[in-house]
């Protein structure tokens, strides 16, 4: 069984994620590939003490990377877009 810290790996801080946070109160995280939506919801609620309204997940394929002649792929990862109730916020993402 995965703990909350095994499920939620790190937040994604990009321009698109920041605009989602400001406009729609949604936060974006990299999560464990084996975690399902209910596990992600419980982990977010336990770690950050917020109420989750909706979760959308997507598995992002790794990009091709080259170093000289050698080519390889970055690993695939799972991304979760978490919508929380209006008026609540996640402080860890705010400070970054």
Mean of the pLDDT values across residues 17-45?
Answer: 95
Do residues 65 and 72 lie in contact, with contact meaning Cβ atoms separated by under 8 Å?
Answer: yes
DSSP symbol at 89: -
Q: Which residues pair with 58 in a beta bridge?
A: 79
Do residues 55 and 83 lie in contact, with contact meaning Cβ atoms separated by under 8 Å?
Answer: yes
Rounded to 5 degrees, what are φ and ψ at 74? -70, 155
pLDDT for 42-58, tens place per residue?
Answer: 999 999 999 999 999 99
The pTM of this model reads 0.88
In CATH terms, is domain 4-94 a member of 3.30.70.330? yes
């Amino acid at each position: 069984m995965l703990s909350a810290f095994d499920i939620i790996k790190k937040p994604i801080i990009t321009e698109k994620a920041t605009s989602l946070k400001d406009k729609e109160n949604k936060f974006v995280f990299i999560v464990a590939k084996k975690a399902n939506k209910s596990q992600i919801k419980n982990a977010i609620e336990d770690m950050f003490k917020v109420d989750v309204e909706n979760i959308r997940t997507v598995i992002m394929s790794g990009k091709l990377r080259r170093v000289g002649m050698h080519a390889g792929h970055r690993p695939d990862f799972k991304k979760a877009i978490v919508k929380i109730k209006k008026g609540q916020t996640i402080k860890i993402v705010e400070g970054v």
